[in-house]
Amino acid sequence: MSVRLVDSADVDERAEIGDGSSVWHLAQVREHAVLGRNCVVGRGAYVGTGVTVGDNCKIQNYALVYEPAVLEDGVFVGPAAVLTNDTFPRAVNPDGSLKSGADWEAVGVTLREGSSIGARAVCVAPVTVGRWATVAAGSVVTKDVPDFALVAGVPARRLKWVGRAGVPLEPRGDGRWVCPRTGDEYVESDGRLAEAGRGAEEINT
């Protein structure tokens, strides 16, 4: 396996790019960023200093992933989506002087395994998007998203549950849900969802 970096990509020599990964035209990967194996960074995307990206992730065209974001394995970040890093942004200090790196503290977004962020969605740090959750296109996420939740809107709210395949689950009664595509079953408890067979303590983590 090898890494594919097109000529117009700006990849700092201090970044780590895993085998099988590709960084496409005009994308920028900053110093000390870490990309896992088999990742795709699309045209014009930005991956900030020290961002950590797991294996098999896709960061689509013009997405902005600001440090210190963490993306676990199998994460999808859609076109022009933004992961912010400044809770109270200002260009200047109260005295009018231009802010420097020492004048604010970056906070990151965390995207758990298999989660997906739709096109032009914004995740406002320091939120966490749970495992296999989906954020609909154009949403603004201001609160943590549970595992397997489908959220949409401004601000984003949960509309449905989704499974690993990404399609909405169908209710089977008594807190049980099934994926119409894979047949996998899930169980709901106290507003949380987990794959059937997992312990209750795992449902609430």
The pair of structure tokens assigned to 82 is 């933004």
The strand order across the sheet containing 22-23 reads 4-5, 22-23, 40-41, 58-59, 76-77, 116-117, 134-135, 149-152, 157-161
Residue 7: Cβ within 10 Å count: 5
Q: Are residues 168 and 192 in the same domain?
A: yes
The pair of structure tokens assigned to 119 is 């096109």
Output DSSP code: residue 145. Answer: B
Q: For the chain, how many residues are written?
A: 205
Q: What is the pLDDT of residue 198?
A: 58
Q: Are residues 87 and 136 in the same domain?
A: yes
Q: Are residues 106 and 144 in the same domain?
A: yes
Q: Are residues 128 and 63 in the same domain?
A: yes
Q: What is the pLDDT of residue 201?
A: 42
Q: What is the pLDDT of residue 202?
A: 47
Q: Are residues 158 and 169 in the same domain?
A: no
- The model's pTM is 0.93
Q: Are residues 192 and 95 in the same domain?
A: no
- Is the predicted pLDDT of residue 119 greater than 90, yes or no? yes
- Do 186 and 198 touch, CB atoms closer than 8 A? no
Q: Are residues 70 and 118 in the same domain?
A: yes
The CATH number linked to 13 is 2.160.10.10
Q: Are residues 169 and 78 in the same domain?
A: no
Q: What is the pLDDT of residue 204?
A: 43
Report the helix count and the strand count for the chain, using DSSP H and E: 1, 26
Q: Are residues 177 and 119 in the same domain?
A: no
Q: d(Cα 153, Cα 97) in Å, to the nearest integer?
A: 36
* pLDDT (tens digit per residue) in 76-114: 999 999 999 999 999 999 999 999 988 889 999 999 999
Q: Which whole number is the average pLDDT over 44-63? A: 98
The boundaries of the domain holding residue 36 are 4-162
Q: Are residues 136 and 180 in the same domain?
A: no
- Is the predicted pLDDT of residue 205 greater than 60, yes or no? no
Please tell me the total count of domains within the chain. Answer: 2
Per-residue confidence band for 30, with pLDDT thresholds at 50, 70 and 90? very high
Q: Are residues 18 and 107 in the same domain?
A: yes
* pLDDT (tens digit per residue) in 131-173: 999 999 999 999 999 999 999 999 999 999 999 999 999 999 9
Q: Which whole number is the average pLDDT over 57-61? A: 98
